[in-house]
Amino acid sequence: MMPLKMSDMWTTMGSTLASFMFVWAIIRQYCPYEVRRFFEKYTHRIMGYFYPYIRISFHEFLGDRLKRSEAYAAVEAYLGANTSKCAKRLKAEMGKDSTNLVLTMDEYERVTDDFEGAKVWWVCSKVMSPTRSPMSYYQEQEKRFYKLTFHKRYRDTITGSYLEHVMSEGKEIRLRNRQRKLYTNSPGYKWPSYKQTMWSHIVFEHPATFDTMAMEPEKKKDIIEDLITFSKSKDFYARIGKAWKRGYLLYGPPGTGKSTMIAAMANLLAYDVYDLELTAVKDNTELRKLLIETTSKSIIVIEDIDCSLDLTGQRKKKADKLFSDDENEKDVVVRKEATREEGGSGSSKVTLSGLLNFIDGIWSACGGERLIVFTTNYVEKLDPALIRRGRMDKHIELSYCTFEGFKVLANNYLKLETHPLFDTIKRLIREIKITPADVAENLMPKSPLDDAHKCLSNLIEALEEEAATKAEELRQNGPNPIKEEGEELQQKCFIKENGEVGGDKEIDHAINQ
């Protein structure tokens, strides 16, 4: 037998391959789906003996097509962010749950990725597969998937740490790009029903940031650092065996920025906000169900905690606010009462222990990364058990406007860093209590002709008016040292119980007596 020449061998192999490709093309073109699947199956098996590469597919829909695969979505986000610089064909679309334009690889595009010395290939692909419609005829349906290919010598690295890296980075990117939401709880008697969930939501688009918050720079820095440290402490919390959550108590007079700070916190950490209206919650069981429905990376807020609950579990009416001169405050109280009545359940039976369980009971650990924020105007009314450290880890007092705070507002509203009238304002603000909300209102131009000078003069006028009113009150009633001292002492007593204060030795002495 004549030995086969090299050139002949190549010719034979080439023509075999060409015939195979030709047969395969005919099968693909003319054969029914079942026959195609049969040939595909056996071709893959034969190839598997010689082919040194491994493939992993990530299909968009699994099984019933009702739910998009989490893994597919994570791969899509990962590749969108990491390959947008090297892929030549990209798809741009507004993500379903996203605020930004999202770039992903276009169909049949192929990119490479390197991980710890291993090279992998990603291809975005699709197949048409038949599905039976309810009308009982077959339809071709598009099924998209990503295919990951790598050499079998990297099997452990890729199936282990690389895929873990892709999933976690992909999820992180999706969270960053998502449209954030502001949730509020619907009254319990309405759920579960068609389209009525426990929490209803709107898109959260509050513009407040820590930059626009009027408060002392050190205090602001301290809060920002605390929040960022918390958000990066997943491993730390796991190590010390504590649920990854943190409680904040924001207290201070109306209009000092408690609600604004919650929005700034949510914007800083890119969290969702769950505004829990306790007056619409029937009992502790309902409260627990609401908690379980909240997601990770969120802030659960209970505003005006002092008028939501008392120790007996009965609701208090905020009588002082109802008789307030401020129409807005009245409105808030009336709205809260209306929500309760709407609930149709009469008085709510959420108890203090139910709320404590909500904050740090066993259920509170589900779902991960969460902040719980309470706000109140009357910190002294709260039960110390509710706000002790471990439950409300950080107590933040938001108080009347200081000169530092005023400078932030002047910069926000008037784009002013300095002005000749600042000295007068500095002197007045040190003596007169004015909330940042009132300062902001005065700095707001009232007509297109109002310039910075006019706005600052308005503020000075308001401060001087307030000073004159205070002086007149003092002249008519005289000082009331007992009341003032008592109030101050009460406040400090409370703070001392919670370990907040130090320094003022006289007051400490008075308390100890």
Ligand X SMILES: Nc1ncnc2c1ncn2[C@@H]1O[C@H](COP(=O)(O)OP(=O)(O)OP(=O)(O)O)[C@@H](O)[C@H]1O
Chain contacts with ligand X (rule: CB under 6 A): 212-215, 254-260, 377, 436-437, 440
Is 284 or 375 the residue whose CB approaches Mg ion more closely?
A: 375
Among ligand X, Mg ion, none, what binds residue 256 when CB lies within 5 to 8 Å by partner kind?
Answer: ligand X
**Sole window of 253-261, 359-367, 414-422, 459-467 interacting with Mg ion (rule: CB under 5 A):** 253-261
Least CB distance from residue 309 to Mg ion, whole Å?
17
> What DSSP assignment string belongs to 300-331?
EEETTGGGT--TTSPPPP-HHHHT-S-HHHHH
269-280 per-residue burial string, b: 16 or more CB within 10 A, e: under 16: bebbbbbbbbbb
> What DSSP assignment string belongs to 139-154?
EEEEEEEEEEEEEGGG
Among Mg ion, ligand X, none, what binds residue 215 when CB lies within 5 to 8 Å by partner kind?
Answer: ligand X
- Residue, CB closest to ligand X: 257
Least CB distance from residue 64 to ligand X, whole Å?
46
The residue within the footprint of Mg ion, chosen from 104, 177, 259, 279 (CB under 5 A), is: 259
- The rounded distance, in Å, linking the Cα atoms of 400 and 429 is 9
Among ligand X, Mg ion, none, what binds residue 436 when CB lies within 5 to 8 Å by partner kind?
Answer: ligand X
Among ligand X, Mg ion, none, what binds residue 440 when CB lies within 5 to 8 Å by partner kind?
Answer: ligand X
Least CB distance from residue 258 to ligand X, whole Å?
4
Is 206 or 288 the residue whose CB approaches ligand X more closely?
A: 206
Among Mg ion, ligand X, none, what binds residue 213 when CB lies within 5 to 8 Å by partner kind?
Answer: ligand X
User: ∠ CA 256-495-357 to the nearest 5 degrees?
Assistant: 85
- Give 248's strand partners: 373, 394
Is 104 or 259 the residue whose CB approaches Mg ion more closely?
A: 259
- Using a 10 angstrom Cβ sphere, with 0-12 exposed, 13-18 middle and 19 or more buried, the burial of residue 264 is buried
- The rounded distance, in Å, linking the Cα atoms of 127 and 140 is 9
- The rounded distance, in Å, linking the Cα atoms of 320 and 416 is 38
Contacts of 292 (CB under 8 A, 6+ apart): 363, 366, 367
Is 243 or 301 the residue whose CB approaches ligand X more closely?
A: 301
- The rounded distance, in Å, linking the Cα atoms of 303 and 374 is 6
Least CB distance from residue 59 to Mg ion, whole Å?
47
Among Mg ion, ligand X, none, what binds residue 370 when CB lies within 5 to 8 Å by partner kind?
Answer: none
Least CB distance from residue 434 to Mg ion, whole Å?
17
Answer positive or negative: Cα dihedral of 401, 402, 408, 411.
Answer: positive
Among ligand X, Mg ion, none, what binds residue 442 when CB lies within 5 to 8 Å by partner kind?
Answer: none
Least CB distance from residue 265 to ligand X, whole Å?
12
Least CB distance from residue 230 to ligand X, whole Å?
21
- The rounded distance, in Å, linking the Cα atoms of 465 and 471 is 10
Is 111 or 273 the residue whose CB approaches Mg ion more closely?
A: 273
Neighbour tally for 405: CB within 10 Å: 26
The reply to whether 260 sits near Mg ion by the rule CB under 5 A is no
- The rounded distance, in Å, linking the Cα atoms of 266 and 203 is 13
Is 187 or 257 the residue whose CB approaches ligand X more closely?
A: 257
Torsion from C-alpha of 145, 146, 147, 150, nearest 10 degrees: -160
Is 343 or 436 the residue whose CB approaches ligand X more closely?
A: 436
Answer positive or negative: Cα dihedral of 18, 21, 23, 25.
Answer: negative
Least CB distance from residue 142 to ligand X, whole Å?
48
Is 186 or 260 the residue whose CB approaches ligand X more closely?
A: 260
Residue ranges in contact with Mg ion by CB under 5 A: 258-259
